[in-house]
Structure formats: structure tokens, C-alpha cells
Amino acid sequence: MPESGESPGLLRSIALPHTPSRSPRAVTYEQGPATMTFAATKGHFFASATWVMALAGAFAVASMAPARAAPVASVEPEQSDVAQLTPPQPSWFFINRGFTENSSAIYDTVTGKLLGHVETPQLTDLALDPAGKFYYVSSTLWTKASRGTRQDYVSVFDSVDLKLQADIPMPGRLLVGGRLNNFVISPDGKFGYVYNMSPASSVNVIDLVARKFVKTVELPGCASMVAVPGVGVSALCSDGSLATLTLSGAKSQITRSEPFFSATDDPIFDNFQVDRAKNQIVMLSYTGKIYTATLGAKPVISAPFSLQEAAGVPAGSAAPNQVNWYPGGVQQMALHRATGQLYVLMHMGEFWSHKAGANEVWQLDLASHKVVKRMTVPGEPRMIAVTQEAAPHLVFAGEDETVYVYDLATGKQAWKLDHAGNGVITVAQAQ
């Protein structure tokens, strides 16, 4: 209901609460070209205090409007404008604001300032153009909100003014949020790969230069992708292998590594990390096994080692009732590429507690297989990222949407950002 201070224009859209019956009367007033007529029964009309106030306000404004000229401002009027951003910087992070907000907020870890928002509605995936010119968002929307005709598309936003450049339609995508590897970009920035279910699991290939959907290629029994330069994509599969989908030739082809993990007994978290310089991915299993794979037409997978043993505690086990430190959360780990340091969210629990928030972050040196630092962290974080600067910041968030930014040089909290979000955290140079 309108309050007295609101514009009388609002009244135009409000239907009268009662239809006239006895001794109707009409109230007419003018404001500009619009003419409004109210008809109401006396008793009914004045029964609503809000209506009385609204009407009084309306009359006051209406009677004043034609009589007085606008007062002259004593200072120069402010010209509103829209700030422009630089392309994404190494100190920035993007956090999906969660299930109810339609955006990913951009923050600078150096200043702690909010810089802007990229539109990322529910169950969308954000990916950064490696050249920093665009933000890509893989989206799905129905014509009638949750029903009607389904539309799947990749939106292209300019990174400087955040304006929409294009929507690239495609046949479909898997509707799962909170995942890093369902929408990936080739390192040369030319192709986007969107994980799809048609309902067989498949990959939509998008030409980002021509801004056109190219084709859907089936990738049965696999999910969670990484772009492989000059080849196509690799993905984790239900038989415990890493499949490589070759898209460079005329006919696409799938090859598989030997199975190296058990998707049933000790699954690998889908949010694995990618190191472009080393052309590697770093993977983590539910029990805490660390695997690396060097990418290519024939990926080479390392023998795993135990994250817990690297910290001098017993290795994690898939057996029930074995309380130990386990990795957990949604985005469980973050890799600082230049130094080969892996930051993992850890909690005390037992096997299958892999979604639990963390009490500690363990810093693993990948070269020496040693946990070099254990940090106690607040907020039971389930999401973690690390900026790729020489002096990196650790960024983590728990269920309550508080985001903590830690300066890794000092190990101290640099910023605590309230209501910032609890979804996927993306950093520049991550792909």
C-alpha cells in the first residue's frame, strides 16, 4: 500500500478496495496529462487510514505542482556516470552470491572493495576470457520462469563496462550449480565447452570468436572437464579413468586412460584445479589422495599420495567410523600455480563427510609432498580460492555468506566481507 510520502503516480496502479454501492462520490484531480478518478462509498473509503494518507499526499503534491517553480540549486548539479573497470586483475576474485542473488560480485583483495557485479543467475556458470576482454556466463532460463520453453545460452559480457555483448544459443546444459569445471574455455580463448546432458552426457562446443554454437559431442559416463590445448577436453569418468575427447580432427574421438581411481569407493572431487603453465590438473579424492595429471592427447597420471600423511597424520580411509582429518566442502582446494602451493579445506570427521565445512586450511607443497602449514580458519568455509599474485590472498566463504580474505605473507586476516556470497569463487588466471 502506498504511504503518504510516495509519489501520487503510484496510486494509478492501485485498484480500489471496494466497489461503490450507496451514495457514491467521485474524486477527480489532475496531475499533468493523467486524470484520475476515484469513486468510493463514504464509509468504506475512510475505513482505510492508509488510503486517507495516500490521498492527502496526492492532493498536496497535485495542488502544489502547477503553482511553484522548482527551487534553484546552490551548487552545480552532479552529473551521474557509470564507472569503467580494467580487465580482470590478479588481485580480484568473483564470488557467486548464492542461490537467491542473480550475480557474481567482483572484489579486489588488495583494497577489499566491491568493484561490480557480473550477471550470473541461479545455476549458471561463469568463465573468464583468458585475454581478459570478456566474461562468459553459461545460462538456462524458461519463458515462464520455471516452466515454458527452455532456453540455454552463453552470455558474453564486456569486462570493462559489464554490458551484454551477445547471447549464444545452444541446445542444453546440465543444471548444477557450484561447479568449476562444467563450463571451461580453451586457453587460446577461441572455444567454450559446456557440459550437457541430452540426456546422455555430452559437451557443447561453442565458437567464441564467431559467437556460434558448433556441435554437441557425446562423452558417455564422464563429467567435469578441462580444456586441453590443441586436442579438445579431458574429463573424469565413472570407470575411474580420465577420458580425452579429441575435437581437432574431422571426427571426434574418445580415448581413455587406464582407470586410476574408484568412482565408487574413493571418488575424486569434481572441482579439481588446473595449472596452465605446467599443463597439469591437480585432483583430490574424498579420502585425501592427491593425483596430478599432465594433459595431452594421452594424459599421464601420477601415483597418488596421501594429504594426511604429508602432514604427519594417518592416511584417510574409506572405512566407516575412522575419525581423522578429511578434505571437505564444495570448492575444496585452491592452487597457487607459480609456487605449487595447494590450499585445502580440512575438517575432523569420517569418510563421507566430504561436504562439511572446514576448521583448518592445509597448505601443501606439491613438489615435496609436505604440508608446510596448517591454519585455523573461521566461518566453517566450504569454498576456497587463492589469487595468483606474487603476494597471494586466500579467499574463503562458509554458509553464512561472510567472505574472509587472508594475506598469505602475514597469515593474517586482511578483510572480512559481510553478505558477500557463498557460491563458487573464481580468480583471474585460473583457467
Partner 1 sequence: MMRIARLSLLAATALFSAGLATRLSAAHDGAAAAPAQHVMEDPNQARVDYIENCGGCHGVNGSTVPAQLPELMGRVGWFMCTPDSRAYLLRLPNVAHSRIHDNAELADLMNYVVFVLGGNSVPAGTRPFTAEEVGRERQHALSNASLTAERLRHATAAVKQCHAPQSIKLLYPGYNPATAH
Residues engaged in binding partner 1 (CB under 8 A)? 142, 147, 149-150, 172, 197-200, 218, 220-222, 237-239, 243, 253-256, 263-264
What are residue 324's DSSP bridge partners?
349
Question: Is 99 or 142 the residue whose CB approaches partner 1 more closely?
Answer: 142
Q: Quick one: 28 or 149, whose CB is closer to partner 1?
A: 149
Cell of 205: 562446443
Q: Identify which of residues 17 and 220 has a Cβ nearer to partner 1 in the complex.
A: 220
User: What's at 355, amino acid-wise?
Assistant: K
Rounded to whole angstroms, the Cα distance separating 364 from 283 reads: 13
| Least distance between partner 1 and beta carbon 94 (Å) | 30
Angle at 99 between CA 93 and CA 101, to 5 degrees: 65
The rounded distance, in Å, linking the Cα atoms of 247 and 133 is 25
C-alpha cell at 358: 572446514
Smallest separation, CB 296 to partner 1 (Å)? 18
Q: Which residue is associated with the grid cell 575412522?
A: 322
Name the minimum Å distance from CB 341 to partner 1: 34
Contact assessment for residue 207 and residue 191, using Cβ atoms and an 8 Å cutoff: yes
At residue 94, φ and ψ (nearest 5 deg) are -120, 125
Nearest to 135 by CA among 121, 120, 115: 120
| Rounded least distance, CB 172 to partner 1, Å | 7
**Is the bond preceding 299 in cis, omega lying within 30 degrees of 0?**
no
Nearer to partner 1, 30 or 265 (CB): 265
Closest distance of CB 295 from partner 1, Å? 19
Nearest approach in angstroms of CB 250 to partner 1 is 16
Check: CB of residue 179 under 8 Å from CB of residue 155: no
Q: State the minimum distance, in angstroms, from the CB of residue 169 to partner 1.
A: 13
Give φ, ψ of 53 to 5 degrees: -65, -40
Q: Which is nearer to partner 1, 239 or 309 (CB)?
A: 239
Alpha helices, H only, 243-385:
307-310
Largest CA distance in the chain: 91
Residue 107: which of 98, 99, 116 has the closest Cα?
116
The smaller minimum CB distance to partner 1, of residues 35 and 143, is found at 143
**Closest by Cα among 358, 400, 407, 365 to 380:** 358
Q: Report the relative pairing of strands 403-407 and 393-397 from DSSP bridges.
A: antiparallel
Q: Which is nearer to partner 1, 44 or 256 (CB)?
A: 256
Minimum CB–partner distance for residue 248 and partner 1 (Å): 17
**From CA 196, how far away is CA 193, in angstroms rounded?**
9
Q: Which is nearer to partner 1, 172 or 177 (CB)?
A: 172
- Taking a C-beta distance cutoff of 8 angstroms, is the pair 57, 29 a contact? no
| Minimum separation from the CB atom of position 264 to partner 1 (A) | 4
Least distance from C-beta 225 to partner 1, angstroms? 16
* Minimum CB distance to partner 1 smaller for 147 or for 412: 147
Residue type for 109, please? T
Closest-CA residue to 191 (of 161, 217, 164, 219): 217
Judged by CB, which is closer to partner 1: 147, or 163? 147
